Amino acid sequence: MQKTILFLSLLAAVFILHACNNSSTSDAEANAWITADQEGHMTLLGKPVATLEDLQAALYDTISRMDPLPDSIPVYFKGEVLMGMRGEIRTIIAESLARADARKACEAVIHGFYTWYGPFAETTEIDFVDDAGAHLKLDTLKLDAYLGKFKATGFVGEAFMQGQKAFYRNCEKLWQNEPKDEPPSCLDADPYFCAQDWDLASWTKAPVTVDLSGEEASAAMEADTRVHHFNLVKENGKWVISKLGCDM
């Protein structure tokens, strides 16, 4: 039912755009602006549409703010009203498609990160924990080299880097009160999979829910039977992870 309502909202938008268009666009061309298959997958202006609840709400809001027309004048003859709506609806559609693209980009970043990190976690030889003394401590040079691998992927941003350094510094404080021959705090499970074992496929393919707020986003993904949360920001025109892990 929800997809039906959204689809009808899109049809209304396309109808108004077509009614306001003074060019020789044919009906066939107008119908090609929006498509939907039997599974409910929709495209608008040739681009896939992920979710359009915001478009539906915006369309209703636009219509509700229109000045009422005299009953004797059909709405399709009120050209100036339709022309005004055309600009607003085109803006709404463009913004909605931009948000859909942003959500897909955020999902791709999260999946891409785990596609890289899964093999890296199994093969990295960088050990940034120094066990030479009475208690464990950080080897900061090796930690920088380790985190540098993350930065080089392009999936994480500066906030992630600073957050991880702070995380491990706090871990080091805990280690000073722990016997080094026992499982240390922070290292008893993988800090990004939140477990000792994981199903990598679930982390690289699971659907991601994204909530956008300007150039920041919060995301959630269910992997290994648990919901995990992420923060992302836009840096230099690209979405990157600013925070993830088991402490969120």
pTM (2 d.p.):
0.70
Here the tokens at position 77 are 């003859």
Q: What CATH number should be reported for the domain holding residue 166?
A: 3.10.450
| AA letter at 170 | N
- Residues 51 and 144 reside in one and the same domain: no
108-141, pLDDT tens digit by residue? 999 999 999 999 999 999 999 999 989 999 999 9
Please give the residue that has the higher pLDDT: either 88 or 36.
88
Sheet containing 47-49, strands listed edge to edge, beginning at the edge strand earlier in sequence: 34-36, 42-44, 47-49
Residue numbers of the domain that contains 205 = 104-244
Number of domains in the chain: 2
Answer yes or no: do 94 and 116 share one domain. no
Distance CA 154, CA 126 (A): 20
> Measured between alpha carbons, how far is 98 from 77 in angstroms, rounded to an integer?
32
The residue to which tokens 């000073």 are assigned: 176
Q: Answer yes or no: do 160 and 222 share one domain.
A: yes
Among 70, 101, 132, where does a domain finish? Answer: 101
* 66 and 108 fall within a common domain: no
Given a contact cutoff of 8 angstroms between Cβ atoms, the answer to whether 109 and 240 are in contact is yes
Q: Please say which residue of 101, 135, 156 terminates a domain.
A: 101
188 and 109, same structural domain?
yes
Do 114 and 173 fall within a single domain? yes
Kindly give, in sequence order, each residue whose CB lies less than 8 Å from that of residue 110, ignoring residues fewer than 6 positions away. Answer: 208, 219, 221, 230, 232, 241, 244
Neighbours of 58 (CB within 10 A): 20
Could you report the per-residue pLDDT of 18-54, keeping only the tens digit for each?
A: 444 444 444 454 444 555 555 555 565 555 655 555 5
Are 61 and 165 members of one domain?
Answer: no
Q: Give the whole-angstrom CA distance, residue 147 versus residue 150.
A: 5
Q: Strands of 216-223's sheet, edge to edge?
A: 208-213, 216-223, 226-235, 238-244
E strand or H helix that includes residue 19: helix 2-20
Instruction: Identify which has the larger pLDDT, 166 or 18.
Output: 166
For the chain, state the CA radius of gyration. 25
The C-alpha atoms of residue 90 and residue 70 are separated, in whole angstroms, by: 26
